[in-house]
Structures are given as structure tokens and as C-alpha cells.
Amino acid sequence: MKIIGISAFYHDSSASIIVNGKLVAATQEERFSRIKNDSSFPIKSIKFCLSESNLKLEEIDYFIFYEKPFLKFERLIENYLSVAPYGLKVFIKTLPVWIKNKFFQKNIIIRNLEKIHKLRNLKNKIFFAEHHESHAASAFFPSEFEESAILTLDGVGEYTTTSIGIGKKNSIKILKELHFPHSIGLLYSSFTHFLGFKVNSAEYKVMGLAPYGKPIYSDIILNELIDLKDDGSFRINKKYFGYINSFNMTNKKFENLFKIKTRIDGEKLTSEHMNIAASIQDATNKIVLKIVKYAKEITKQNNLVIAGGVALNCVTNGHIFRSKIFDKVWAQPASGDAGGSLGAALLLYFKYLNNKRILQSHLEFLNNSYLGPSFSNQEIKNILDKKSINFKYLNNSELINETVDLIINQKIVGWFNGKMEFGPRSLGNRSILCDPRSEKMQSDLNKKIKFREGFRPFAPSIIEGEFQNWFEKAPNDPYMLFVTSVKKNKLIKFNSKLGGFDLLKLKRSQIPSVTHVDNTSRYQVVFKKTNEKFYKLINNFYKKTNCPILVNTSFNVRGEPIVCSPIDALNCFFGTNLDFLVLENFLISKKDNLKLIDLKYSKKFDLD
């Protein structure tokens, strides 16, 4: 039984393939197209899935799309009618797009698949799943639980914005739902827009900004913007939001409520912006905890799995874990729409085709999220030779030893190894690595390497067995989906009245580069059995420094997807201030290739 799941046409298009219930490959289209959050039909991703599975398109039994376009269209029509005559301009602009590109989606899917290979009777192989069922399936079926509560939280699917369900063996049942426009995802995105960041892309910036401020507007959000009930259900106050009848997330009344204008990207971030970020994060934590309590009450389960875009809010996930409402909490690493392709395929295989589910750990089922392309040493050498790039070839032991010495000497290294990660986080295969003990590394990474806002925090990757010695109790999560505090005995005491971004000047702990201003970290636990090379690299650093941690951030720059191929890695390397690049067993030094540095960034190398 061979099934390809497809997510497309909104943001984070992706494809996943399962063969007899086993997940073989999954990837996002942006990694191949190099268009951030690419929403186009994932032809390149499907081709990769076929290649990785050694299959042809005609051998696939079913294709399943991650949502139902007719239901979504029905919701749009109902929404426009409910606010008429307001929203007429949006309706007039939106309707032709829907008719042309989305309303006849089965035919659109067929036409795109036929670009890969012409097939007969393809129409009979195509199915559609509901958006939130796809999210629920993506969380439950890869989990290690035979049964659990399921919570999905995002902007909106067809109608649903939040759902509580229960998973048992090979089945999923949705018990409760909240519907558009009442959405915690859209509420958070409204503040993302208000703070001058890009919606559906930069919500994590709001999360990173929040610790610099104080939640002084939290009560206004909970009292004026929404009507929150004890069971976590809520209704938004429509008069403050524009997304219901316009192309804007918020309106003038929203600005008047907080007494500041919507920030434009590039404008200075003030203490008021920081306080607003802190307030929406605090309100989100409170709303979600009420929903979680209600999920426990109606499901009677001990375990919880979560998915949907809001499940990428690792601060809220940490609050869920620390609440102890559920014994165990697991978040799906590709929780956004990219994970919808995986969920749809699993939903079809297990629930609708009634195949038996064999329990295994999420590390095994998802292969630690290492589900994308990999490249052999020979393929990489061919590229390096063709591009006249100087390099050293080292065996694994030599490579790890030399790379660790470079990091100890405060060099920043691009690390390209094995299969690319599925989801928004770099987990040690497409990563930028450096020394967490450095006081200036956080600033250097943001300004000289990532070309992004200086307030943004970085993640620690720590080897299994050492996590409890450096961080407060939290799940042994390998996906960077939870936040926890640095252990008190690792913190450095200081007396300071600094506030705002001046907090960055303070050395807060023994690992300052990965300690946020509230003494927390969004961590990754690295397991030897799932990424032996990365584990050995950190362990070697531990042996030499007595610190079992490396700074790990995604191998990309602001506005670009994580690198996928060696060509992508080389372009990023020569277009930034990275010192060294590791491509599998090849070590490349910037100093040994000075002739290439002056080439214009992103125009240096191509596949020819």
C-alpha cells in the first residue's frame, strides 16, 4: 500500500509518502524551490518522495490532499454573507482566484501530477481529508501512545480553528471544535501583524520578543478582544479585527485599544512593542491551558499529542508540560501545514483503510524528522571539483575532532550531514554550530551570519543523559518544541536595572549564547541512536570543555529556507561570515577560498 500525502496552495507546501504504514520520506517544497513558505503544488517534493521510495508515479495507490476545498469555499461564502455589505471588495478579488485555482482542485492536482507522468484513471486515486483531521493524524499516529487526547490549534482549516479529539489504536475521533473566526492562531497572527512581522511566517519572532517585555496588556486581550469561557472556548470581539472582512489582520479600533500604531517592518522596536508581545504570549498560555484542562476532562486520557501551527509555540508547550494536566505531552515536529501531508496519508492508511497500527517510538517512526534528501561524499566531491573549491577530506573521527577544535577557537561552522530535516527546525543535519559559552556569539550570529534582528535567541543542542544536569525538568524532546529554564546552579548572579534589549549585555549563565533573557532555552536533546555523528560531535566538545552543548541554529539566512543541497550550503557559506563549512566528510575553510568571497551572494553557484 503506497500513499502520497499532499499539502499545498496556502503556505508550506509539502509531500509525504508512506509504504505499508512506514513513513519513507517527507519534505517541504520551499527547500527545493528556495522560495520561503512556498505554497505552490509540491512537484519537486513528490518527485523526491518517489525517488527515495524507488517508485514510479503509476505505482502509487492513493494520493490524498490535506484539506477539503469545497468545505473551505463554503465557509468563505458564509463568512462574506454574514458581514455583507462589508467585505465586498475582498469577495470580488477572492472569488476569481478560487474559481480558477482552488474550486476545481481535483483537476488541478491531476494536471500537476501529469507533469510528472501521464496516468489513466488518476481521478479515482485522489482523496481529500479534513484539515484538522490531518493535523490530528499527524500528531497521534507517529506518537508512541496506543491512545491519547489530541489537541489541534491553528489559524483555520475549512471551518475549524481548534479541535479536541481522542485517538485509539488506528482510529481518531474529533469530540469538540471551535470555528472561524474564533481562532487562537489568528489572534496570535493579528499581533504578529500589529508588531510589524510577517503573518504565517514570523510568529516565532513575537515569541522571542516577549521575554523583553511585561504582560501589562494581558487583561485587555482577555477582557476586550475575546470572551473566554472556563472550558477554553472563546469568541473574538469582531469589531477589532480586519481579517473577517478585509485583507488586514487588524483595524483602527485595535490600534486605539492599545494606543499605538501598527508597527512597520524596519521601525525601531520599543518597550511598548515588547510589552505587547509579552501580553499576547501570556494570554495565549492562559487560553491554551484552559483548553488543555477541558481536553483532559472530556477525554479522560493520560497522554496528550498536539499539532497545528500554534503547536510550534514552544513557550506555550512548556506551560502545558509544567501544568501536569497530562502525564505526557508530545508535539509533532512539523506541526504546521507542512505536516498536513503526512497526517492526511496516515489518516487514509490507518483510519479509512483500517490498517493495523504497530506502536513504536516517534524517534523510530519519524526517523527523528530526518526525512529529506541526503548527498554522498562522491556527489559532493564532484561539485567541489567542478566549482574549484579547496577542501580537506577527513574521516569521521578526524572531522569531528578538527571541527570541535574550530568551535572551541570561536569559529562558526556550517554543518551539512545526512538527511535534511522535515519541519521548521534544523536538528543537526542542516545546522550552523558554535560555542554556547561565548558571551558575544548570540550577537555575532544574528548580525554577521543570519542577518536578522539582534533580539532573537538561539537553541542549545545537548546530548542525552546530560539534559537534567543543565536544564529544569522538561520532555526529552529532540525537535526544539519545548522551552524550559536553565538550572539555577548554571546561572550567574548579577544586580542590574537594565531593561529591554540592554538585557542582552548581561552574562546570564555558563552558556550565555543559548540562555534567553528570561533564563530559558528552546532546547534539543540529541540521541546517539538517531544521529550518531552529531551526538559524537557534541560529546567530543563535552570531553574537551566539560560542556555537553552546542549552539544550533538553522543553516540559512533571514528570508530564505533552510539549505537543502550542497549548492545551497555553499551559497550560504560564501554569502555570510561563516568561518568553515562541513559537507559530509569535507571541511572547507573560507580563508582557503578567498577568491570566491567577492561573488555576489546567491548568484555564485548553480547546479550547472
Query: What is the per-residue pLDDT for 602?
Result: 43
Average pLDDT over residues 464-473: 98
pLDDT tens column, 409-451: 999 999 999 999 999 999 999 999 999 999 989 988 988 888 8
Query: What is the per-residue pLDDT for 99?
Result: 65
Grid cell of 5 as nine digits:
500525502
Average pLDDT over residues 476-498: 93
Cα–Cα–Cα angle for 60, 65, 66, rounded to 5 degrees: 130
Mean pLDDT over the full length of the chain: 93
DSSP string, 315-348: HHHHHHHHHTSSSEEEE-TTTTTHHHHHHHHHII
Query: What is the per-residue pLDDT for 69?
Result: 84
The SS3 call for residue 9 is coil
CB 429 within 8 A of CB 370: yes
Number of Cβ within 10 Å of residue 255's Cβ equals: 14
Closest CA to 42 of 24, 54, 55, 28: 28
Rounded Cα distance, 440 and 85, in Å? 55
Query: What is the per-residue pLDDT for 80?
Result: 64
Q: What percent of the chain has pLDDT over 90?
A: 82
Q: Which residues contact 2 (CB under 8 A, 6 or more apart)?
A: 17, 18, 19, 20, 53, 55, 59, 60, 61, 62
Grid cell of 456 as nine digits:
532573537
CB 244 within 8 A of CB 83: yes
Query: What is the per-residue pLDDT for 175?
Result: 98
Distances (CA, A) of 412 to 388, 389, 579, 580: 23, 19, 5, 7
Average pLDDT over residues 321-333: 98
Rounded Cα distance, 221 and 258, in Å? 10
Query: What is the per-residue pLDDT for 100?
Result: 63
Rounded Cα distance, 400 and 417, in Å? 12
CB 213 within 8 A of CB 281: no
Q: What percent of the chain has pLDDT over 70?
A: 94
Query: What is the per-residue pLDDT for 606?
Result: 66
pLDDT at 601 > cutoff 50: no
Average pLDDT over residues 133-160: 97
Closest CA to 273 of 501, 119, 561, 528: 501
Query: What is the per-residue pLDDT for 103?
Result: 63
DSSP state of 593: G
The SS3 call for residue 210 is helix
pLDDT at 600 > cutoff 90: no
pLDDT tens column, 15-68: 999 999 999 999 999 999 999 999 999 999 999 999 999 999 999 999 999 999
pLDDT tens column, 262-273: 999 989 999 999
pLDDT tens column, 188-241: 999 999 999 999 889 999 999 999 999 999 999 999 999 999 999 999 999 999
Query: What is the per-residue pLDDT for 81?
Result: 65
CB 254 within 8 A of CB 240: yes
Q: Identify the residue whose cell numbers are 569531528.
A: 400
Query: What is the per-residue pLDDT for 72?
Result: 77
What long-range pairs does 543-547 form, CB within 8 A, spacing at least 24? Answer: 544/404, 544/405, 544/408, 545/408, 545/435, 545/437, 547/436, 547/437, 547/510, 547/511
pLDDT tens column, 292-302: 999 999 999 99
Closest CA to 487 of 535, 517, 521, 522: 521
pLDDT tens column, 336-394: 999 999 999 999 999 999 999 999 999 999 999 999 999 999 999 999 999 999 999 99
CB 315 within 8 A of CB 210: yes
pLDDT at 452 > cutoff 90: no
Count Cβ atoms within 10 A of the Cβ of residue 328 and give its class: 0-12 exposed, 13-18 middle, 19 or more buried: middle
pLDDT at 104 > cutoff 90: no
pLDDT at 74 > cutoff 80: no
Average pLDDT over residues 466-490: 98
